[in-house]
Structure 1
Amino acid sequence: MEPFPDPYPGPATPPEVRVYEVGPRDGLQAERAVLTPEVKIAFVRRLHAAGLPTIEATSFVSPRWVPQLADAEQVLAGLGDLDGLRLPVLVPNVRGLERALAAGAREVAVVVSATDSFARANLGTDRETALGRAADVVRGARAAGLAVRGYVSMCFGDPDEGRVPVAEVVPVVHRLLELGCATVSLGDTIGVATPAHVRALLTALAGTTDRLALHGHDTYGQALANVAEALEHGVVELDASAGGLGGCPYARSATGNLATEDLLWMLGGLGVRTGVDLGAVASTSLWMARHLGRPSPSRVVTALAGGALRSPADADPAPAPEPRPST
């Protein structure tokens, strides 16, 4: 059944947006279960079959820090035959870039922080040094012919510093754009943003919104409202995680990412094209939830799971989740 038979476009809503799927990386890195490479590869393949054009596959970070993604090379190798799919991978430093290049990555992402506190917690250094390291990665990646995406964490609030002023975020975003990042994603890492704060930041970044994305977490239930505000300001790339997987292992109070299904439901109701099959994504999230041994937190997945999403392909039993080392 078509879930959006009668959409109601908003006055400034773009006709089409790009959904940037982060579940296999940002979602799984914060889950307690450590899944096999085969399950992760199947996850990406299912999401690709659902029509998602960009899927962040994994991260080339030290396994000591994120054991959930210690198999990055194996996962990327298992996806090499997927034509027409953007498969960016996160790289924290030059060493990570070297691993990604050796594994055949075609696109990478780098992360910096808008605050010193989170730079020290997540990146092990102060904000300016982290920006310098990111610059080295961007230059190296571009020299190798790779596209680069930038992430700015803690754009709206920090668990140690509180509300993050717009003036602290804007120069960090501009720096990444000047370095050559094709897009920069504004991270509401602990999910405290409100539409008014999103409006203030995007107003300060006017003239660059066609190169910006929004990365929301739904800690306080504001993620979709924040997306609606971003759409009004011309943002056309939106980060989401299938089934609402994940959070951030280095940010207190960070809960799951905005669920891809919840985002697709809202965009469909606005008449915004994505090219993504909502039912197929929701079915995939139910499948993954069984592998993780817990229900999906997505409200749309829960609402649609009554029967129409069940199929023989979803009937395979999930293995018991392996314990995750404490980080």
Structure 2
Amino acid sequence: MIEDEQYGHLRSLNDFRNYLLAIQWDMSRRELVGRSLSDAGYTRIQADTYSYLTRVDLLKKLCSIDAAERDRAEAHSGALASGSIPDSEENRVLCEPQFEFVTPQQLVAIDFFLSMHHYAPHAFPALAVWHDVNVLRRRYPTPTLEPLPKPDIVLHGWYPVGQYDKEAPATGLRSFDAEQWNPYRHPGRPGRYARTTGGEQTVYFEETSQFDVDAEAACLFVTCTYDTAFMLNTQHRDAIDSAHFWLNEGIVKLPTGMAQRYQEMAKRGQYFSRLAQRLNLTPAELDAHLIENAIGDEAHQALLGYDTTQLSLFAEAA
């Protein structure tokens, strides 16, 4: 179907699908840091979800696909107006973009989560990608890759983090700037900050029945506020600052009663970001450091108080 010129605008979607299938088992594109803590205060070091660079790479490609579709629709509309193509119902439909993967609302949601990642280099990382593609007009084509076979997923070990406080401090979603400025910028609020269900103090946030992004506010900020000057001015800000911003301004709303989970996500990202700063390590060097200094699975089981000795029933009987 994609070979038919009638459906040529869908070719990029097929290419992206094939790209996802090709990188599915590429463990070099995976995250090493675990998403939870053990009772001993360790986190698993093992290939898991897509890494930060892979997520940004996918976002660049999706934004490029969206931009190319808008360009195609504009060119098609011009061809129809000039009489270069027949004035048919099908051609009139194709004068409008046929899809949009990354809306401003979705972009803000992506930015919120990327802002809590330990390898995000600055605030508003997803918006910087959108600006790169839609304002600076850079394009990131989807390459054709050969799929890799499914490998064994190696457990590198367990790395000690305490409660994300062993080697570096982490306050997660707490914003001292917002606490100072909220009485002036938002005097009508019931408080300068909020607390999670676990009792931890965080930036002010609002709750709804499920995770939500204010579509109108997101569109206004992405398309009108976030210009080149704004992008450059936030390059030196910590990534977590944009997560604070989305919550404090009420653009992103958390699911009711789930704030502690997001606080843990933020603390994990901030902890490893600050650990990299303290040790003066690049992302690749930090990954190597985590692997080198992780303890084995048996040692971790021993810390948990588990008996790793496998008893033999036949030996007992003898």
Question: For this structure pair, what is the TM-score category when the shorter chain's length is used for normalisation?
Answer: under 0.3
Larger strand fraction of residues: 1
Between Structure 1 and Structure 2, whose CA radius of gyration is higher?
2
Report the TM-score, using the length of structure 1 for normalisation: 0.23
Q: Give TM-score, length-normalised by structure 2.
A: 0.23
